[in-house]
Amino acid sequence: MPIRLEVWGDNALFTRSEFKTERVTYDVMTPSAARGILEAILWHPGMRWRIDKIYVLNPIRFDNIRRNEVDSVINASKIRTMAEGRGDGDAIYAAESIQQRAAIILRDVRYVIDAHFELNRSKMAPTDSAEKFQNMFIRRASKGQCFHHPYFGTREFPAEFRLWEEDDDPTGFEQGHRDLGYMFYDFDYCNPAHPIPLFFRAELNDGVMDVKSVEVKS
């Protein structure tokens, strides 16, 4: 059975990978961001979420803001040094490394996510089943429960959510076709040590992005 979840928030930032320092958002939520929202509500090693459609309910609007970020990156070896108690490992202190960067973000966003999940039976317990996972998600989503609060791209832009309980399909904010160009789809984790980014040619038809049968490229 498919899952249909409505999500909304004041702002969103789905960062385009082709930009470096300044953050520029995609026009619409990416499939990987939608998957992250579902996993925030229910994650289990015996299942994997697959996004089918994203309905864009509100018009696409942008804002320009400036955000505080740090200008340094700490590596794993330095973290290990700190964990072992051998100094501070050249820790990054936000007050000393702060830097303002511009960002183009989305405002007043609202989507409906159509998704389903696939089972990984090698990581399921004998008592696990598709019906059990389905009921767990519906129960958690209806009560507003989550492992961590879902967000739109970055944690500073939280996402509210509820089950879509209308009988009719959601209605997109516009009619007609809109080409969104190439968009990040997700990572290929066949080699967990070196995940490969995947992209697809995104488009909206009557305000709906259908990603169920898109051609994905690395």
Q: What does the block give as tokens for 156? A: 């500073």
Per-residue pLDDT tens over the stretch 125-170: 999 999 999 999 999 999 999 999 999 999 999 999 999 988 889 9
Question: Please, what is the average pLDDT of the chain?
Answer: 89
Whether 120 is in a domain gets the answer yes
- 201 contact partners, CB below 8 Å, separation of at least 6: 179, 181, 182, 183, 214, 215
Q: Please give the Cα distance from 166 to 20 (Å, whole number).
A: 41
74 in any annotated domain: no
Residue 89 lies in a domain: no
- pTM tops 0.95: no
Residue 34 within any structural domain of the chain: yes
What DSSP line would sit under 131-181, residue for residue?
A: HHHHHHHHHHHHHT--SS--BSSSTTSB-EEEE---SSPP--SS-SEEEEE
Q: Is the Cβ–Cβ distance between 98 and 70 less than 8 Å? A: yes
Residue 76 domain flag: no
Task: Select from 5, 4, 3, 15 the least CA-distant residue to 157.
Answer: 15
pLDDT for 88 equals: 62
Q: How many domains does the chain have?
A: 1
Is residue 22 within 8 A of residue 101, CB to CB? The reply is: yes
* Whole-number pLDDT of residue 99: 78
Higher-confidence residue: 89 or 63?
Answer: 63
Q: What is the share, in percent, of the chain residues with pLDDT greater than 90? A: 65
Residues above pLDDT 70, as percent of the chain: 95
Residue from 4, 29, 47 nearest 154 by CA? 29
Q: Which domain holds residue 56?
A: 3-67+101-210
Do the domain assignments include residue 47? yes
Return d(Cα 61, Cα 64) in angstroms, integer. 11
Q: Is 32 exposed, middle or buried (0-12, 13-18, 19+ CB in 10 A)?
A: middle
Interstrand relation of 98-119 and 47-56 (parallel, antiparallel or unpaired):
antiparallel
Q: Specify if 49 maps to a domain.
A: yes
CATH of the domain at 144: 3.30.70.2660
